[in-house]
Structure 1
Amino acid sequence: MDDEPDLASALAEYFVDLGAQAEIARDGIELQAHLRAGPADLVILDLNLPGQGGFDLLGETDLLQGAGVIILTGNADALDRIIGLEMGADDYVLKPVDPRELAARARAVLSRRRGRSSLLVPFETTSADLGAARVLLDAGQTEPLSPGEVALIRAFIAHPHRVLSRDDLIALAPAESAEALDRAIDSRVARLRKKLRTDRLVTVRGQGYRYEPPWQD
């Protein structure tokens, strides 16, 4: 729920494209009506709402019981952030926000509430959501990651800047079929590199592959 109707509509459409069900509430009264009609898994809440403010709604624990809450606001006041989190919000996100980031934060909130771990790995123009096994693309679409691809990404990010040999990668990320021995790992890395649209999985001639993260250790 957001006090900018166009933004709310765009975000709702984005979440629907990802396979979620999304409803828009134009003000606090309408949100209360939605929540009384049926429970929500997640509420994206603006603090500056007509009729009833976000902090007031956060105080109504009976309405939000069981729902994850992400505060989405243009207010960068640190005190408001602290108050919002202390009142039970799971996350606090400032506008403007990339829909991909908001979707990733939403998945992380839901994963934590369901007891699952979520990990978002950024690349140049994509991000890999290992919890959801999806690649988040720059245009808002997603693509699935296979278990073998998730295992490969986990192997690389666990050993940044280190050259991993083919044998290392086969041991750390076993293939999903018996054919992935020796040079087959080259095909797997090449396909993963193409899917992630990344140059951060670097080929080290005669040795193997190295992951170069966007930060420096």
Structure 2
Amino acid sequence: MTAPLVTILDDEPEIRSMLADALEDAGFRTMGFGRATEFEAALKSTTPDVCLVDLGLPDKDGLTLVHRLALEQGASVIIISGRAQVQDRITGLELGADDYIIKPFDPTEVVARVRARLRKDRPVAQTSSNTARFNGWTAFFDRYVLEDDSGAETTFSHAEGEVLRLFLESPKRLISRSHMQETLGGAAGESFDRAMDVRISRLRTKLKEDPKNPRLIKTIYGAGYIFLGDVSWG
């Protein structure tokens, strides 16, 4: 079996080298890039399993690149950045990143986060289908698209798709925060809770839910969430 490929996009050669050494010692393949244009050119012929992306790039805005990766590539994206403000982390997660690591960091933590993403990606679903229908909506997980009953389409990110698929595979059952963390991967705690809050809020918006009284994704305070739709796959 081919080892998973992790791409490293950071303009600091020392950081690229440090991450590559740690990841390769852990059994991963790596490719490093110092500029966004080089990375984007490589994506035309390469499909990484996880993308590590620094936000402070010399030639392009890192957040814009993260958003495009999440929507167009369906890639798992981990931001690595010196921007430690809460708003930066929230923005990165809202734009589709799966995780956010603040510099300076321990390379072993990055390896652990990458492994968590891959563990989550492996057993993606109980069903092999990539199409689900529910309450006038159709979700196409191969294209990252939601289609309403009029045929209008709305894209969703890889990270939002993980949460939506988890709900659609377990309708009308309580899904606890701890179960979400175990299934989707990532470090437990405030950052994971914030990521879930952001993704669920964005899904509700895309499903045209009333934020004060959502019909489909119900919050059970202190316990988790329940998806109340009727779902069919295939």
TM-score normalised by structure 1 residue count? 0.51
User: For the Cα contact (< 8 Å) 2:81–2:101, is it kept in 1?
Assistant: yes
CA distance in 2, matches of 1:64, 1:94: 25
2:49 is the counterpart of 1:31: no
**Structure 1 residue 113: deviation in Å?**
2.2
Aligned residues: 121
TM-superposition CA deviations, 1:64-88 (whole Å, max 9, x none): 6232110001110111111110111
The residue type paired with residue 120 of structure 2 is R
CA distance in 1, matches of 2:186, 2:71: 29
CA distance in 2, matches of 1:101, 1:82: 20
Map 1:101-140 onto structure 2 (within 5 A): 101-115=109-123, 117=182
Instruction: Determine which structure has more spread, i.e. the larger CA radius of gyration.
Output: 1
Bigger relative contact order (CA 8 A; separation at least 6): 2
**Structure 1 residue 92: deviation in Å?**
0.3
CA distance in 2, matches of 1:101, 1:62: 22
- CA root-mean-square deviation: 2.3
Report what 1:73 is aligned to.
81
Which structure has more strand as a fraction of its residues?
2
Unpaired stretches in structure 1, ≥5 consecutive residues = 121-217
Report what 2:26 is aligned to.
18
**Structure 1 residue 22: deviation in Å?**
0.2
CA distance in 2, matches of 1:62, 1:33: 17
**Which secondary structure does the structure 1 equivalent of 2:96 belong to?**
coil
The residue type paired with residue 39 of structure 2 is L
Q: Among residues 89, 113, 135, which one is paired with 2:97 in the alignment?
A: 89
Unpaired stretches in structure 2, ≥5 consecutive residues = 1-8, 125-181, 188-234
**Structure 1 residue 8: deviation in Å?**
0.9
With over 3 angstroms needed to count, the CA separation of the structure-2 counterparts of 1:37 and 1:51, relative to structure 1, is: same
**Which secondary structure does the structure 1 equivalent of 2:31 belong to?**
coil
2:25 is the counterpart of 1:8: no
User: For the Cα contact (< 8 Å) 1:73–1:95, is it kept in 2?
Assistant: yes
Map 1:26-65 onto structure 2 (within 5 A): 26-61=34-69, 65=73
Q: Percent identity?
A: 42
**Which secondary structure does the structure 2 equivalent of 1:89 belong to?**
coil
CA distance in 1, matches of 2:186, 2:102: 21
The residue type paired with residue 90 of structure 1 is D
**Structure 1 residue 62: deviation in Å?**
7.4
User: For the Cα contact (< 8 Å) 2:79–2:101, is it kept in 1?
Assistant: yes
User: For the Cα contact (< 8 Å) 1:41–1:66, is it kept in 2?
Assistant: no
